[in-house]
Structure 1
Amino acid sequence: MAGQRPQQEVSAWRPRIPGVVEVFHAHFTEYAYPMHVHEAWTLLIVDDGAVRYDLDRHEHGTPHDTVTLLPPHVPHNGSPATPHGFRKRVVYLDDTRLADDLIGPAVDGPDLRDPVLRRRVAQLHTALTHAGDKLEAESRLTLISDRLTTLLRPHHPRSPRPDPTLARNLRELLDEHITDGLTLDRAAALVHAHPAHLVRAFSTAYGIAPHQYLNSRRVDRARRLLLDGLPATEVATATGFFDQSHLTRHFRKLVGVTPGRYARENVRRLDRPDP
């Protein structure tokens, strides 16, 4: 816009999630990418504005309701398609997450209009911004990879039907690892199942995702420890949360108040004289 300076806001990090090379969030108003390539898959959503780009000599665009998947080693560029630029979130994935035979279909149709996929990618980015939500990020990424494969390879065989026994086995594993946690890949190896099938089996059987189950068990333990008088910092460590802020976020989501307020209300009740 005339009279305003171009904006360039970026943040980038490498989470400890298998298959994730980099997470990149950016807001550009006038910056244009020249032709370039990545050795990783580029999974992109645009939250504001739009991007126009060329891929394999064909012009494409990224309205906010699409998910864009750019394959590795294929040149592309990018520039704002609106006067106020664009705000985007990108996760770069290595070849363990998506097979090489998807490169051709991704070149032919990189922009995917799929509301479920769009929602899952946004949820993945939210999980990736919090260091303690590794199981959630792994679970969401596994389902995203599976859905991308299904969309780009229509004749991809369907996953097996949900298995209640498999779901129960995962629940028992999560119960054994409430404090120390458990990665999705490790759980899948222990129960001899594909990670995506494992997540679906659990969610179908119990109506809750594995990471939600684990966090709710941790919050339950945190409530008991807070009522015992332990400070929130010690409770976070004792219940497997990354830090106090990680505990606070999930505690408030499930209980409706912060751990501090929860503990204070308990103290007030104990201090009241008997009637």
Structure 2
Amino acid sequence: MADTAVECDEKARGRSEPPGRPPRNRAVMKHSDVLGGLDYLAADYHRQDFSKHIHNEYLIGLIERGVHDVWCRGEIWHAGSGTVATFAPGEPHFGGAGDDLGWSQKIFYMPEGLVRQVLEDSGQNEPGTIDFKSPFQENAPVAHGLSAFWRLLEHGHSSALEIEEYLIRFLPHVFAEAGGSRVAGPKFVPPRIRDVCDFIHAHFDEVLQLAALAALAGCCKATLIDGFKAHFGLPPTRYLIQVRIDEARRLLRRGQHVADVAVAVGFADQSHLTRHFKAVLGVTPARYLSV
């Protein structure tokens, strides 16, 4: 099983913080190839603001310390220690620290294909995406199971077979405890909005103009913006950034250099990629690339 590590621990580099300087964020992100691949993140944040974004994967995790404030579903959630985070694909959210002490978390990014395969292997073969009852939930058994899954992934001698067996036993329990309704098939998106969405996915590495996208949809700019926000939770510009970041993750896992990736996915330079990447994933692409 190949792992790609992201290390943001300054102390591990042999440097200590000067007196009076605020503590640095520390984050580790890795990639496991099991069942087609998943990313998993451990982070200790003191100052970290996440911009409004979505994930194409299921985001399932655990707040281990402090308070993480997150806007989602029209309200602010104050997620404290021991809280389980459960986000379905495409659920818009943003947030940061709930107080001056920051927070620690462990997050798993599980692609829909992986979740679907695991649920089918456990006898749950109903189609569609599963929504969650709420983005944050108090559930001690699930929290303990997530910690155990992290330890299994981190154990150097764990085989792909062991990890797959654990997921088949544990993941159905997570969805049984925290899952809500099942949405059969992809959600409906009006054809003109879908056409623009498909165009963005095909041309994300180009300079796109809002006027051209609106013309493609056959509507004015304001209508296009409102349509994207209604169906994706993001305006077209932020949706484009999201697509570019997803593609950047794929290229970085293949070992491409950050500066080359920035240009390949359509950002002006490495600094622009870094700013947006960190605001969505909580780590910089340079750290994501380092092993």
In 2: Cα distance, 1:97 partner to 1:21 partner: 8
Instruction: Report the counterpart of residue 244 of structure 2 in structure 1.
Output: none
Q: Please state whether the residue corresponding to 1:73 is helix, strand or coil.
A: coil
CA distance in 2 between partners of 1:144 and 1:61 (Å): 26
TM-score, normalising length: structure 2: 0.47
TM-score by length of 1: 0.50
Which residue pairs with 2:282 in the alignment?
A: none
* 1:71-220 matches, cutoff 5 A: 71-98=88-115, 100-103=128-131, 106=132, 108-134=133-159, 135-153=161-179
> 1:238-271 CA deviation, whole Å, 9 max, x = no partner?
xxxxxxxxxxxxxxxxxxxxxxxxxxxxxxxxxx
- Residue 52 of structure 1 corresponds to which residue in structure 2? 69
Show the counterpart of 1:259: none
Shift of 1:150: 1.0
**Structure 2 spans left out of the alignment, 5+ residues:** 1-18, 117-127, 183-291
SS in 2 for 1:72: coil
Aligned to 2:264: none
Q: Which has the higher strand share?
A: 2
* 1:54 Cα offset (Å): 0.9
Q: Where in structure 2 are the equivalents of 1:230-241 lying within 5 Å?
A: none
Contact 1:51/1:62, CA 8 A, preserved across alignment: yes
**Contact residue 21 and residue 40 of structure 1 kept, 8 A:** no
Matched residue SS, 2:112:
coil
Output the amino acid matched with 1:65.
G
Secondary structure of 1:14's partner?
A: strand
CA distance in 1, matches of 2:144, 2:36: 20
Check the 8 A contact 1:19/1:93 in 2, yes or no.
no
Once residues 101 and 166 of structure 2 are traced to their aligned partners in structure 1, the CA distance between those partners, rounded to angstroms, is 31
Contact 1:52–1:78, Cα closer than 8 Å, also in 2: yes
Aligned counterpart, 2:57: 40
CA contact (8 A) 1:19 1:95 kept: no
SS at the partner of 2:113? coil
Q: 1:139 to 1:50 in 2, by over 3 A?
A: farther
Larger Rg: 1
In the alignment, the residues of structure 2 paired with residue 46 and residue 155 of structure 1 have an alpha-carbon distance, to the nearest angstrom, of 24
> In the aligned structure 2, how far is the partner of 1:140 from the partner of 1:97?
13
Query: Per the alignment, do residues 154 and 30 of structure 1 end up closer, same or farther by CA in structure 2, a change over 3 Å counting?
Result: closer
CA offsets 1:189-247 (integer angstroms, 9 cap, x no match): xxxxxxxxxxxxxxxxxxxxxxxxxxxxxxxxxxxxxxxxxxxxxxxxxxxxxxxxxxx
Q: CA deviation at 1:96?
A: 2.7
CA distance in 2, matches of 1:65, 1:5: 25
1:59–1:127 CA distance, 2 compared to 1 (3 A)? same
| Inter-partner Cα distance in structure 2 for 1:146 and 1:47 | 22
Counterpart residue number, 1:181: none
Q: For this pair of structures, how many residues does the alignment match?
A: 152
Identity over aligned pairs, percent: 14
